[in-house]
């Protein structure tokens, strides 16, 4: 059980670092990277539970593989959106992206 706790703690720390990055970083690319960090924290949880959980099963690891695939796709789309944004606004500063207000 102690192994599970340390994994979960690590994942929580990782998630918090990612979330902190999402909320505070001005550079949109760093924000995107921070989101990846948060996803990986979740992956870590999934893997940890599949090995040390109450009912250890391979499902969790398979699931984390799926997450990585989807995350790759998401990162591709995210970067593409950012490139388009950069073309239209000539900046990647997240503060400048306030179109929701208008």
If the CB atoms of residues 19 and 52 are measured against another protein, the closer one turns out to be: 19
Distance CA(86)–CA(29), nearest Å, equals 11
If the CB atoms of residues 87 and 101 are measured against another protein, the closer one turns out to be: 101
Contacts of 8 (CB under 8 A, 6+ apart): 45, 48
Cα dihedral: 4, 8, 11, 17 (round 10)? -150
Here the contacts of 50-54 (C-beta below 8 Å, separation 24 or greater) are 52/1, 52/3, 52/4, 52/7, 53/4
**19 binds another protein per the rule CB under 8 A:** yes
| Minimum gap (Å) between residue 100 Cβ and another protein | 4
Span interacting with another protein, options 44-52, 53-61, 76-84, 92-100, rule CB under 8 A = 92-100
Q: Which two tokens stand for residue 92?
A: 């990647």
If the CB atoms of residues 37 and 68 are measured against another protein, the closer one turns out to be: 37
**88 binds another protein per the rule CB under 8 A:** no
**95 binds another protein per the rule CB under 8 A:** yes
Which residues contact another protein (rule: CB under 8 A)? 19, 22-24, 31, 94-95, 97-102
């Amino acid at each position: 059980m102690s192994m599970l706790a340390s994994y979960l703690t690590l994942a929580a720390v990782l998630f918090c670092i990612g979330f902190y990055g999402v909320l505070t970083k001005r550079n949109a690319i760093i924000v995107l990277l921070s989101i990846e960090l948060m996803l990986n924290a979740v992956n870590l949880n999934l893997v940890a539970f599949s090995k040390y959980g109450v009912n250890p099963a391979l499902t969790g690891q398979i699931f984390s593989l799926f997450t990585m695939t989807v995350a790759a796709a998401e990162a591709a789309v995210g970067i593409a959106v950012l490139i388009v944004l950069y073309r239209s606004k000539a900046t990647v500063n997240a503060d400048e992206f306030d179109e929701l207000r208008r």
